[in-house]
């Protein structure tokens, strides 16, 4: 197939693109290569993708509706994977306009591209952050998501609602994936796994928020890329069990679906640090910090609906995933002359 993939230079985007290319799909990547974190890492990811003759990339911002529309028409994709976004809960607190522009206006532009090209299926990244103040764990898709703890979370929930409106109005099959704390090789420098590894190796203290009393459902990147591609292959359909007199938030008579994609094995933050110390063979300096604005105390994914839809999904044990991440990090950043 011909796939348009936004966020191709991103962490998850690169891994998804590699899977699509490996099976013979043609992938047109879209990325604005912004400097939210070091663009050199994004360029290194793109270098891996450019080794494939079936890949090309265009540098475009989602907010530029005209440029994005033209890119859609040049690509003429059959299906779309939308992973580009202004990420970061804390970034949305200090720079809300960034989140609003990319995640709201940008998503409208993606939906318009899908409508104009009559794409067969749109798969897009939502986030576990939509569950917000909900403390009922594990999170299931039919639970309430009306109390976001950050603007980032609110934009991701808005994306789900916007997708539903296009599925209803224009019968565009859309599938949202609520991703849970993804980590692994080529990961983002602003995420805990990367920051903690760098700090331990450099002998710097780790900033541990809420005194470490936090739980996250860490999910290895392969365990995200695999179901994303399988979901792309199974377009959303109207749910025959939808009951409008008792509406389920993620059931619809439109071709619309939302799924949790997570490891399903939440881990205490302090236990993660213990495992990372064992993997690196070094002890961390720990600096306990208060809870940050927008953070939630715990996440955990109920993935039964996902498994019912596409079958069993891979689940990499944390210490196996840590070993893979650390090996990659050392190969990239621990060579002589590198930080």
Instruction: Evaluate whether 237 touches 319 at the Cβ level (below 8 Å).
Output: no
Q: Which residues are tagged catalytic?
A: 152
Burial per residue of 154-167, b for 16 or more beta-carbon CB atoms within 10 angstroms, e otherwise? bbbbbbbebbbebb
Tokens of 37: 């974190």
Q: How far apart are CA 147 and CA 120, in angstroms?
A: 32
Instruction: Evaluate whether 68 touches 109 at the Cβ level (below 8 Å).
Output: yes
Helical (H) or strand (E) element with 288 = strand 285-289
Q: How far apart are CA 215 and CA 265, in angstroms?
A: 10
Can you tell me whether residue 91 is helix, strand or coil? Answer: helix
Q: How far apart are CA 163 and CA 104, in angstroms?
A: 11
Q: How many CB atoms lie within 10 A of CB 265?
A: 14
């Amino acid at each position: 197939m011909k796939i348009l993939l936004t966020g191709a230079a991103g962490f998850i985007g690169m891994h998804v693109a590699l899977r699509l290319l490996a099976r013979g799909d043609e992938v047109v990547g879209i990325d604005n290569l912004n400097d939210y974190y070091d663009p050199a890492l994004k360029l290194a990811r793109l270098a891996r993708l450019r080794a494939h003759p079936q890949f090309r990339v265009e540098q475009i911002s989602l907010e530029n509706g005209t440029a994005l529309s033209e890119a859609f028409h040049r690509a003429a994709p059959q299906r779309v994977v939308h992973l580009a976004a202004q990420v970061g809960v804390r970034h949305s607190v200090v720079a809300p306009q960034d989140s609003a522009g990319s995640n709201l206006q940008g998503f409208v532009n993606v939906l318009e591209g899908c409508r104009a090209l009559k794409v067969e299926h749109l798969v897009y990244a939502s986030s576990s952050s939509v569950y917000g103040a909900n403390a009922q764990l594990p999170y299931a898709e039919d639970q309430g998501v009306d109390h976001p703890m950050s603007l980032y979370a609110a934009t991701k929930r808005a994306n789900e609602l916007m997708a539903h409106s296009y599925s209803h109005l224009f019968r565009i099959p859309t599938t949202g994936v609520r991703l849970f704390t993804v980590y692994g090789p080529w990961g983002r420098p602003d995420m805990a796994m990367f920051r903690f590894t760098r700090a331990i190796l450099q002998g710097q203290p780790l900033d541990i928020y809420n005194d470490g009393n936090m739980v996250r459902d860490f999910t290895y990147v392969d365990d995200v890329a695999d179901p994303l591609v399988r979901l792309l292959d199974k377009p959303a359909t109207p749910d025959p069990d939808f009951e409008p007199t008792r509406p389920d938030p993620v059931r619809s008579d439109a071709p619309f679906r939302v799924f949790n994609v997570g490891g399903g094995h939440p881990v205490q933050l302090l236990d993660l640090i213990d495992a990372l110390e064992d993997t690196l063979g070094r002890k961390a300096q720990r600096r306990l910090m208060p809870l940050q604005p927008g953070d939630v105390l715990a996440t955990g994914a109920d993935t039964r609906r996902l498994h019912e839809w596409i079958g069993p999904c891979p689940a990499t044990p944390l210490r196996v995933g840590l070993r893979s991440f650390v090996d990659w990090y050392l190969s990239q950043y621990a060579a002589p002359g590198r930080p």
